[in-house]
């Protein structure tokens, strides 16, 4: 789950050098999209609504980048940081105004069931979440390395002016990248809608974790984000085990600080990357 | 900067005169103005590290919380009088900044922002686990029914922080900070000890923030981790500073005044979702259209408005 939340965040950060604080609210919007499709006349299963949720969030993120964030994309980093923060509080509060702050949840037929392997029981929902996260990550990785657009995106991240000279429409590429980040947030939201309570502020917890996971995995490193997500989950559980539940966040943030200070290029990255 | 100098002197005089106000105001206005002085002091403090030195700290609220808890502990457990406790809080906050700043201030840009952010969140979680600080349920302080007292103390902190900023801006130390902001390598080549200057700037910033935190604790008589380590304080410090003008002497106070006035107009007493949506829209407006804050307009009047320059600047910042 953390991996799914972090992949899009890491992509936007790595390619565009934008820390998208609003990523959490995109996840929240994705979760609501799944929720409305589930309670609506279609009664669509959250796992089946992933593509729709991704499409909706792609469109929203694309427009936001094209018309708002693009205005300050070359300004100092504090500008984009504050701008996405402002967008996130606006989106979260508009959601609260229109949908109220009631806690909603999705209960499917398979919600309680789990797979028993030896002495372990793994809830089906968790297993499917993991599979979808892995599939999305691999799909994105393939897209970025094999397709023409993926190559254009990577070229833009290396040198904006050189990419422009080679005929890349930079503004469009940025909007596309942000849109893909949004789509991944939409997918993460659809996944979250099954196992987490759906509220307008549900995204906050994901942003902090997306931060940590992205740094652990190395910025813009898509597969790194997947590895970082798994590592983080383990660290958090062990932190809770050894120091007590209350210290879970302290341990996680201490790990983040140490990684930033000693391995800022991530656990799996290289210094020259 | 003749006009700028006159503005600073004017604002300090207005603030000094406002010390005479409390007997003529009702309780609500005393509260509103005390809060305004506090937020202005926090923004002035942030400006030293974020505006002059160019290090966007998301961890300054840590020193607010630390100051509040140090003061509460000194007054509650050790029975110290407020002034001694506040001094203790200032020393603790500045020492913490120096200690954290040594490794953290080597980081730049996003990494510095994240590191400071995680310190702020981590400290809140850490303090919430400590038995002497009442764990998550917080601490209570002796009650001082004289609310004018807090008005004067916060006002004093604000005036001191403005005068300190004015003094720093004209000193060798201030020039060193600006040099670090513009180009840290070049500053080092010029013989500036960048590491020491940055840590000193953060420690001074933390001292002011800690003083405000200590006064807030005594004023509020009750503190708990989510209240005094509230990240919204940190965000407000930044927005107020940017609105007024980062790296200027009184910009943060002006930004704080405008945001406080807007908040009061919208009914800040009950923070509604619409209030926050409007705040968000204001931030978007500031970030895109006022990247240098209001300062050029305050010193140059409407002559500073130049549509051509604004469009050129927008063109340069987008792709």
pLDDT in tens, A120-137: 777 888 888 888 989 998
The pLDDT > 90 percentage for chain A reads 32
With CA atoms as reference, the chain A residue closest to B128 would be A246
A200 is a domain residue: yes
**B274:A247 CB<8 A:** no
Question: Are the CB atoms for B68 and B213 separated by under 8 Å?
Answer: yes
| Closest Cβ–Cβ partner in A93, A160, A249 for B122 | A249
Q: How many domains does chain A have?
A: 1
pLDDT at A21: 87
CA distances, A121 to each of A115, A116, A124, A239 (Å): 6, 4, 9, 22
Give the Cβ contact number of residue A109 at 10 Å: 7
What would the pLDDT profile of B157-175 be if each residue is shown by its tens digit? 999 999 999 999 999 999 9
Q: Which member of A97, A247, A250 has the closest CB to residue B274?
A: A97
- What phi-psi label fits residue B156: left (phi over 0), alpha (psi between -120 and 50 degrees) or beta? alpha
Cβ pair B319:A171 closer than 8 A: yes
Q: Considering only CA atoms, which of A25, A32, A56, A26 is closest in space to residue A46?
A: A32
List the single residue in B103, B273, B274 with the smallest CB-CB distance to A261. B103
**Cβ contacts (< 8 Å) between B106 and chain A: which residues?**
261
Nearest CA-CA partner of B231 in B113, B144, B82: B113
CB nearest to B318's CB, from A70, A211, A254:
A70
Q: Which of B146-155, B186-195, B196-205, B296-305 is predicted with the least confidence, judged by mean pLDDT?
A: B296-305
Residue B114 domain-assigned (yes or no): yes
Does the pLDDT value for residue B270 go beyond 60?
no
Is residue B271 in a domain? no
- Residue A271, domain member (yes or no): no
Q: Containing domain of residue A144, as a range?
A: 2-88+121-262
| Count of all residues that appear for chain B in the document | 319
Domains in chain B, number: 1
- HEC-encoded secondary structure of A133-188: HHHHHHHHHHHHHHCHHHHHHHHHHHCHHHHHHCCCCHHHHHHHHHHHHHHHHHHH
Most confident of A177-191, A224-238, A253-267, B291-305: A177-191
Cβ burial, residue B242 (10 Å; 0-12/13-18/19+): buried
With cut-offs at 50, 70 and 90, classify the pLDDT of residue A169: confident
Would an 8 Å CB–CB cutoff place A162 in contact with chain B? no
Is 80 exceeded by the pLDDT of residue A248? Answer: no
CA B74 from chain center: how many Å? Answer: 24
- Determine, yes or no, domain membership for A64: yes
In 3-state terms, what secondary structure has residue A123?
Answer: strand
pLDDT in the model for residue A272: 44
Tens-digit pLDDT profile for residues B90-128: 999 999 999 999 999 998 877 888 889 889 988 998 998
If pLDDT is split at 50, 70 and 90, which confidence band does A267 have? low
Alpha-carbon separation of residue A266 from A14, A261, B119 (angstroms): 12, 11, 19
C-alpha to C-alpha distance for B92 and B116, rounded to whole angstroms:
18
Q: What is the spatial distance between Cα B14 and Cα A135, in angstroms, rounded to a whole number?
A: 63
Return the top range by mean pLDDT from A24-33, B113-122, B137-146, B233-242.
Answer: A24-33
Interchain contact, B126 vs A250, CB within 8 Å: yes
Contact, A225 vs A215, CB < 8 A?
A: no
- Indicate whether B282 belongs to any domain: no
Question: What number is the average pLDDT over the span A240-248?
Answer: 78
Interchain CB contact of A97 with B (< 8 Å)? yes
Between B295 and B64, the higher pLDDT residue? B64
Domain of B160 in residue numbering reads as 2-230
Q: pLDDT exceeding 70 applies to what percent of chain B? A: 97
Q: What pLDDT is stored for residue B159 in this prediction?
A: 96
The answer to the question of residue A111 being in a domain is no
Contacts of B235 in chain A (CB under 8 A): 85
State pLDDT tens for residues A76-85. 777 888 899 8
In a domain, A145, yes or no: yes
Confidence of residue B19 (pLDDT cuts 50, 70, 90): very high
Lowest mean pLDDT among A18-32, B22-36, B260-274: B260-274
Structural domain includes residue A101: no
pLDDT in the model for residue A116: 77
Question: Is-contact A181 A23, C-beta < 8 A?
Answer: yes
DSSP label of A100: -
Give chain A's mean pLDDT: 86
CA dihedral B143, B148, B154, B155 (to 10 degrees): -170
CB A200 within 8 A of CB A28: yes
Q: How far apart are CA A145 and CA B95, in angstroms?
A: 49
Which of A86, A220, A242, A266 to probe by mutation at the B interface, max B CB count within 10 Å? A86
Over residues B277-285, the mean pLDDT reads 86
Structure confidence at residue A273 as a pLDDT band (50, 70, 90):
very low
- Domain contains A107: no
B23 inside domain: yes
The pLDDT value recorded for residue A159 is 87
Structure tokens at A252: 């996680």
pLDDT of residue B42: 97
> Residue B180 falls within a domain, yes or no?
yes
Interface test with B, best of A14, A22, A75, A264 (most B CBs within 10 A): A75
**Could you report the per-residue pLDDT of B211-249, keeping only the tens digit for each?**
999 999 999 999 999 899 988 899 889 989 988 888 999
Predicted pLDDT at B2: 56
What is the structure's pLDDT at B24? 87
In a domain, A94, yes or no: no
Q: Which of B30, B71, B63, B46 is nearest to B223 (CA)?
A: B71
Instruction: Tell me the C-alpha distance between A13 and A11, whole Å.
Output: 5
| ipTM tops 0.90 | no
Residue B93, C-beta contacts closer than 8 angstroms, at least 6 positions apart: B63, B66, B67, B70, B206, B207, B209, B210, B211, B213
Looking at the partner chain, which of A171, A249, A261 has a beta carbon nearest the beta carbon of B125?
Answer: A249
- pTM equals 0.83
Residues 209-248 of A with CB under 8 A from B: 211-212, 215, 244, 246-247
**Residues in chain A within 8 Å Cβ distance of B122:** 249-250, 253-254, 257
What pLDDT score was predicted for residue B168?
A: 96
Q: What is the arithmetic mean of pLDDT over A173-194?
A: 93
Question: Which whole number is the average pLDDT over A246-264?
Answer: 79
User: For an interface test with A, which of B112, B266, B280 has the most A Cβ atoms less than 10 Å from its Cβ?
Assistant: B280
For residue B279, tell me if it sits in a domain: no
């Amino acid at each position: 789950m953390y991996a799914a939340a972090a992949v899009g965040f890491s992509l936007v950060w790595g390619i565009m050098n934008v820390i998208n604080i609003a990523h959490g609210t995109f996840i929240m919007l994705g979760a609501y999209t799944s929720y409305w499709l589930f309670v609506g006349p279609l009664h669509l299963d959250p796992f089946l609504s992933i593509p729709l949720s991704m499409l909706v969030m792609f469109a929203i993120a694309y427009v936001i980048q094209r018309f708002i964030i693009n205005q300050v994309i070359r300004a100092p980093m504090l500008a984009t940081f504050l701008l996405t923060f402002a967008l996130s509080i606006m989106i979260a509060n508009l959601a609260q105004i229109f949908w109220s702050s009631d806690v909603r949840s999705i209960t499917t037929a398979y919600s309680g069931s789990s797979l028993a392997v030896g002495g372990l029981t793994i809830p089906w929902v968790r297993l499917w979440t993991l599979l979808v996260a892995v599939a999305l990550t691999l799909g994105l990785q393939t897209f970025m390395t094999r397709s023409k657009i993926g190559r254009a995106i990577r070229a833009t991240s290396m040198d904006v002016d050189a990419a422009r000279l080679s005929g890349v429409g930079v503004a469009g590429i940025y909007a596309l990248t942000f849109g893909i980040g949004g789509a991944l947030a939409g997918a993460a939201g659809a996944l979250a809608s099954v196992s987490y309570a759906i509220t307008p502020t549900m995204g906050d917890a994901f942003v902090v974790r997306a931060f940590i996971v992205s740094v652990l995995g190395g910025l813009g490193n898509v597969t790194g984000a997947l590895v970082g997500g798994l590592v983080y989950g383990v660290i958090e559980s062990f932190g809770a085990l050894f120091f007590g539940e209350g210290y879970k966040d302290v341990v996680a943030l201490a790990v983040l600080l140490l990684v930033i200070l000693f391995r800022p290029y991530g656990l799996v990255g290289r210094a020259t990357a | 900067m003749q006009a700028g100098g006159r503005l600073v002197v004017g604002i300090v005089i207005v603030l000094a005169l406002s010390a005479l106000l409390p007997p003529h105001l009702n309780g609500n206005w005393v509260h509103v103005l005390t809060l305004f002085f506090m937020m202005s002091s926090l923004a002035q403090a942030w400006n030293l590290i974020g505006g002059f030195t160019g290090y966007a700290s998301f961890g300054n609220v840590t020193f607010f919380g630390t100051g509040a808890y140090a003061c509460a502990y000194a007054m509650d457990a050790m029975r110290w009088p407020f002034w001694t406790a506040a001094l203790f809080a200032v020393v603790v906050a500045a020492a913490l900044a120096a200690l954290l700043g040594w490794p953290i201030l080597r980081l730049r840009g996003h990494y510095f922002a994240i590191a400071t952010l995680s310190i702020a969140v981590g400290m809140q979680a850490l303090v919430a686990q400590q038995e002497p600080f009442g764990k998550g349920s917080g601490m209570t302080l002796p009650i001082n029914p004289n609310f004018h007292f807090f008005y004067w103390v916060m006002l004093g902190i604000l005036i001191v922080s403005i005068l300190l900023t004015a003094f720093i801006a004209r000193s060798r130390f201030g020039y060193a900070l600006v040099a670090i902001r513009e180009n840290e390598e070049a500053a080092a080549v010029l013989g500036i000890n960048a590491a020491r200057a940055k840590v000193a700037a953060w420690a001074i910033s933390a001292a002011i923030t800690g003083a405000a935190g200590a006064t807030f604790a005594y004023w509020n008589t009750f503190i708990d981790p989510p209240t005094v380590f509230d990240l919204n304080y940190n965000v407000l410090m930044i927005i107020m500073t940017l609105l007024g003008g980062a790296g200027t002497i009184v910009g943060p106070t002006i930004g704080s005044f405008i945001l406080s006035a807007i908040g009061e107009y919208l009914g800040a007493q009950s923070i509604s979702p619409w209030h926050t949506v409007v705040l968000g829209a204001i931030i978007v407006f500031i970030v895109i259209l006022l990247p240098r804050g209001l300062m050029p307009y305050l010193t140059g009047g409407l002559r500073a408005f130049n549509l051509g320059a604004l469009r050129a600047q927008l063109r340069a910042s987008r792709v």
